[in-house]
Structures are given as C-alpha cells and as structure tokens.
Structure 1
C-alpha cells in the first residue's frame, strides 16, 4: 500500500484518554501529540484516522511550521527572550508562578539572564541557525569562554549560569517546534549538576573547632586561619565577607560586628556586600565567646586594627586558596570533606541556627531578604523537636473535644 502522507499515527494514553500522536518519517524518534482524542469508530488506520481530517490537517500544519522555521537563526529567535513584554516564554512562566501562588522571579533574575544573552550568547550564536547548534559546539565554546570584563577564563559557576540561560532558550525553541531537541540540555554543567552544599554534622564541627586553641592551631596551621574559618561557621559569613574583616569591625560592647565589606574573588578588590543591589548593605552578626577569645589573642599579636586581618602573601585571601587550606586542615583533623567546601560552613550555620532561632533573625544574620530553602538542611525530626512546646495546646484541644 502506498503511503498517502509523510507521517503515520499512533494511539497513546493521556490523562484525558487515548489521543493521536503523529510520527513523521524524517523524525520517528520524536512523536508529537495532536491533542485530539481517539475516535471510537477508528478502525486502526495508522495512515489516516477515520473521520479525523482535522488530525491530518494538524499534522501537515505542524510539518509546514517545522519546514518554514528550520533555518531560523539563534539571534532571530532569542533577541528579546528575557523581556517579559515581548517573550512568550517569560510571560508564560510569570503566569504559571502567579497561578501556583509562588513568588515571581527575583528582581535580578531576568536582567541577569538578559545580560548573559547580550554579552555571551548573541555574540557567538547570533547568525547560527537553531537546527545547526550542537552539543559539541556549545561545549567547545564554553570551555574556552573568557570574561568580557576581565579577559580571563570564567569561573564554573558563571559558565553554568550562561549554559542555563541557553538551555531555557533552546527549550522554548524545541517547544515551539523550531528544533527537534535541545542540544544545550545535553551539555554538562561545569559546577556539577544538582550538587547541594551539604552541611557538616555537629560532631564534625566540634572536631574542626575544638575548645583547645592549641589543638585547633595544629589543625588549621595558624591562629589566623582558625579565626577565618571560625567566622564563617559561627557567624554564617561568606568567604569574601570573612576575608574583608578587620579588627576595627569588632564592636566589643555589643559582642559582634556590622559587616559592610567583602572581597571580590576575581579582582581581590574590597567592595560592598554581595547583596548591595538587593538593598541589603549591612548585616549584623553576633560573636561567640570562642570567637572573641581567638580575636583577643590576635590583638595580642599586634595585628593592625584598620587593615585586613586575614591575608596570604600580604594580599587578600582568594577563595580557591582558602578552599585548599580548608580541605587540607579538615583532613589533618580526620574529617573527610568529599565535595564539601568552606562555603558549607555557612550552610551549617544557617541550618543549626534555624533549629534554635526565629527565622527572621537568621535571615538578617545570613544577609537574606527571605528564607532560602537551599540553605535549610533541617530534617523532619528537627521540626518535630521544635514543635514540642505545642504539646500542651494539643492536649488542651483533646480535653475540649471530650
């Protein structure tokens, strides 16, 4: 029998019942749903379902769309992608978020992705047809990509953000039928896909930061390194914020500090907090007795009050250098860090503080506007323990019922 069409049909189950899928001869691996429910009188004619001329018409219309747009360039498709006034993807996501009751994109989300599009994606891919973009091409481009601002290789986290922006664009191109598959989705993230910054256990923390200062110095190799990491664990500071700390920041009568500065890791310049653009320009942190005793010892060593307390070779500490020292020190203490880094000390602080303090207070000390779920590693048992004061209320409710 001669094929009447360059496609065939297949019945597949959906939530609404069985529907027709069209399978094109040139792309048999990617059936497309027509959205049309199966006719109960259909005699299993896979070439043209009985009484369903509209299904055949849909298949041809979809085929025409694929052929018309097969050579559309990345630049033509992505030009205004992250503009909520012009891009259907952005509008659709905003509607989804509103209807689900979730918060819309953060203030920086769309502008940041738009900057990645303008600065990195369009200069390379503007004239390339969407269907000519390959996994190999994307991967080879990313590994050689330099910062447009500094002219040096981009950090893995920055490369991942650029790749995520490209994935979203290519995902929408696939959704609209411009390409058969999203090549960007097959490129591996540089920072490790799905890795979470797991906290340390309190047993590990006690080993890393013992009460015996001499023992701690043996782990960390110096009192300064001990204090640097202790600031991150007991105050939840980011590495750059700890690196910008000066003894003059210590407000002794209030047992803490108001943090206003951080070290920009790439340039090692002193700047404001990472959250300055979000309106959080200062963060109050309370010091533990242990931290204050260590800072007092550093004062006795005659460290300058208005200079960086923590330096390497006379300059600010780079995050990569600190991470190497952190892992080596943890190993000396007998702690296996695995994929955990110094930043996990901040996650540990956040998680343990939430077990003991009101969320709003933890948010202030962490420098966040709202509770960040990815920082919260509490388990079910932690929430159950926190709920114990409610037991009296539960008992009273039961008495009232009886």
Structure 2
C-alpha cells in the first residue's frame, strides 16, 4: 500500500496514503508530511490485520440512526426494559449525541458529558450504559472500531441502606393491613417481586409441597399491564412456610386453576401503584414501623431466610437471582454472621491446638523428672 507524492498547482507538495479494503474498495487520505501518511497507513494495516478496521464511510452514520437500529434489533426485551431504554434514548442520548457521527465520538467528550450530567449516580450510570450499548452495537455491526465509552469514569453509586423487618414488625404490618394481611405474609416470607406476586395463578400453588411456581410477571407500563417472563428468565419454585397452610388452602378452594391467585378488585392483576394507594401505604403508617415500600418486603424475606440459617445458594434460588454471586453482592450485609462463625471456629481450633501442645509438653516434663521416693 503506497504513499504517493502529489504536487499541487500552487507547487505545494502533498503525500497521499492509499489502501484497499477487503471488498477491494480504494481509500486514501492526504497529508502534508510523508511520515504522517506512513504512520496513518501503518495503523490502517495493523487494524486490518487485527480485524478492528472499519470503513470510514460507515463511521459517518449518526448515533440516532444507530440507536434506532439497536432498539429494533432487540425484540427479546421485556416491555418494561424497552420503555426504559427508549426513554433514555429520547431524553438523554438523543439531545446530546443524536446528530453526532459515530466516528466523531471521543472518550474525552463522553467523560465531559458524564461529569456535567445532572441526576443521581444511578441514573447517570444507566444513561451511560445505554450509550455504551448503542456503540457496542455499532462495533458489532462493523460501523465503529472501538467503543469510546470504555474507560470512562462513572460516579460511584452509593447503595441505599435496606430496610429489613423483624417477624414482630411483619406481624404489625399484617394486623394493620386487615384483609390484605395475607398478601403481606406471602411477600415478606416468600421474597417475590411484586409483579411475580400479581401474576400468580391458582394453578401455581402446590399445597402438598408448599410451593409457589413463579413463571410469569405482570407490571404496569405506561398505564397498561404487561405480561412477561420472570426476570433473568429464572422460572422457579418458591417455598412458603407451614403457618400459611390454612390461608393458602382458603385462597385456592373452589377456584378455577386459571384464575389469579391474588386478584385485584375486579379480578384483574393487582397494580402496585393501586395497592400502595388503596391500602399498603396506609397500613405502613398505621403499623408504626416507619417508611417502607413493597419491594422491601422482598429484602425482608431474604433477611428472615438468612437469619433462619439459609445458605447463599438457597436464598439465590428463592429470590430468582441469576447467580449466587449476585445474591452475595446484593445481601452481603446479611451474611456478616458467617464471618463471626469463622472467627469462632478459628478461636476454638487455636485453643484446642494449644491445649494439646501444653499437655504434650507436660507429659514430656513428667517423663524427664525422676520419681519421688
């Protein structure tokens, strides 16, 4: 791939670097200095060898066009995920990056955007995640060589302190919830997401094994109830405690298997917003336990399970997490007692070892000392 000397009409010398892509299309670029042309051509050659070369014409596409292609290619998303990603594109990505060519985005520019963005750290991280996913799509489609979001420093997300109810506090909430007390018990001891709870059908209750089969979720999205597979596609069987036997039996008796196990007022799925408005928030206030959201009953279930001796793997299966590592990362504070157990065992082992050593030393001394007449 040559670097050719060109003399312009005004006598100025220019150096033109030429190369051909895999489809035998010619590309070139002009430089004032031969060394610059050669360095650029060497880089192009290296990119072609490593497979990171991208046709410069394709990199002229805009972020908006790539975003629409990214959204279109993900027909596998749940409706709630699609709405969230479309909102991020519309409200954050489009206004700043929509008309920018893919090849013109730099890591420095993305970093300045991150630094100037208003909002909570979690919101900033999600918006950057959407932009990064769009640019990853461009890399996959060979319209961009590398993703300029890689290496961007994101704001640290401070985890909010979770609320875990005790058994006594759960009962206070149950009493205050009146006819919805059973709902509270199921959420607080089974660890279901609210959408999973709302989607349960009579057929999902196995009274013999005390199991709830969680296989769908229903969530309100833009005023419409949308059904989907459970998060992470973790279809699972969740146990419920024996003290719920009578109420669970009453819940299913004489009802068709295809009906909702916990229906709303007119037999339709419960909307979390309606539940909070109609009874949950009032019950929380009347119970005197302090501020609480329905999702914190899921955290409570994890806490009560761990307190009862459940392992990380058991909690993962109950909650439907993608991995035990995710469970441990989410609820690391609940497993602090394991560290205490480790130190107790270390202490006990050391004490036992020293005791044996002291006994052996004493036996050795006794053997060396002459008998007393």
The bucket for the TM-score relative to the shorter chain is 0.5 to 0.7
Is the Cα–Cα contact under 8 Å of residues 75 and 122 in structure 1 kept in the other structure?
Answer: no
Give the aligned partner of residue 275 of structure 2.
322
- Equivalent-residue separation in structure 2 for 1:205 and 1:163 (angstroms): 39
2:191 to 236, 240, 246: 236
State yes or no: 1:358 paired with 2:311. yes
Is the Cα–Cα contact under 8 Å of residues 132 and 149 in structure 2 kept in the other structure?
Answer: no
- Equivalent-residue separation in structure 2 for 1:251 and 1:387 (angstroms): 41
Q: 1:285: Cα distance to partner?
A: 1.3
Q: 1:193: Cα distance to partner?
A: 6.7
State yes or no: 1:336 paired with 2:290. yes
1:275 to 213, 225, 232: 232
1:127 to 79, 95, 99: 99
Q: 1:229: Cα distance to partner?
A: 2.3
- Equivalent-residue separation in structure 1 for 2:194 and 2:151 (angstroms): 41
Q: 1:243: Cα distance to partner?
A: 0.9
Give the aligned partner of residue 200 of structure 1.
165
Give the aligned partner of residue 348 of structure 1.
300
1:167-197: per-residue Cα shift (whole Å, max 9, x none)? 999xx78989xxxxx9x97xxx9xx974344
Q: 1:246: Cα distance to partner?
A: 2.1
Q: 1:367: Cα distance to partner?
A: 0.9
Is the Cα–Cα contact under 8 Å of residues 205 and 211 in structure 2 kept in the other structure?
Answer: yes
| C-alpha spacing 1:332/1:162, structure 2 compared with 1 (3 Å) | same
Is the Cα–Cα contact under 8 Å of residues 189 and 300 in structure 2 kept in the other structure?
Answer: no
Q: 1:327: Cα distance to partner?
A: 2.2
| C-alpha spacing 1:296/1:79, structure 2 compared with 1 (3 Å) | closer
1:255 to 203, 210, 214: 210
Give the aligned partner of residue 92 of structure 1.
none
Give the aligned partner of residue 238 of structure 2.
285
2:331 to 368, 371, 375: 375
Give the aligned partner of residue 177 of structure 2.
220
Query: Structure 1: any 5+ residue segments left out of the alignment?
Result: 1-72, 84-107, 143-156, 177-181, 210-215
Q: 1:316: Cα distance to partner?
A: 0.9
| C-alpha spacing 1:346/1:397, structure 2 compared with 1 (3 Å) | farther
- Where 2:243 maps in the other structure, the secondary structure is helix
Is the Cα–Cα contact under 8 Å of residues 246 and 307 in structure 1 kept in the other structure?
Answer: yes
Which 10-residue stretch deviates more, 385-394 or 304-313? Answer: 385-394
State yes or no: 1:311 paired with 2:263. yes
Is the Cα–Cα contact under 8 Å of residues 197 and 343 in structure 1 kept in the other structure?
Answer: no
Is the Cα–Cα contact under 8 Å of residues 199 and 377 in structure 1 kept in the other structure?
Answer: no
- Equivalent-residue separation in structure 1 for 2:238 and 2:285 (angstroms): 29
- Equivalent-residue separation in structure 2 for 1:318 and 1:364 (angstroms): 25
Q: 1:323: Cα distance to partner?
A: 3.4
The structure with the larger Rg is 2
- Equivalent-residue separation in structure 1 for 2:151 and 2:320 (angstroms): 38
1:211-235: per-residue Cα shift (whole Å, max 9, x none)? xxxxx3xx1131xx22222222111
Scaled by the length of structure 2, the TM-score of the pair is 0.54
| C-alpha spacing 1:379/1:122, structure 2 compared with 1 (3 Å) | closer
- Where 1:335 maps in the other structure, the secondary structure is coil
Q: 1:364: Cα distance to partner?
A: 1.0
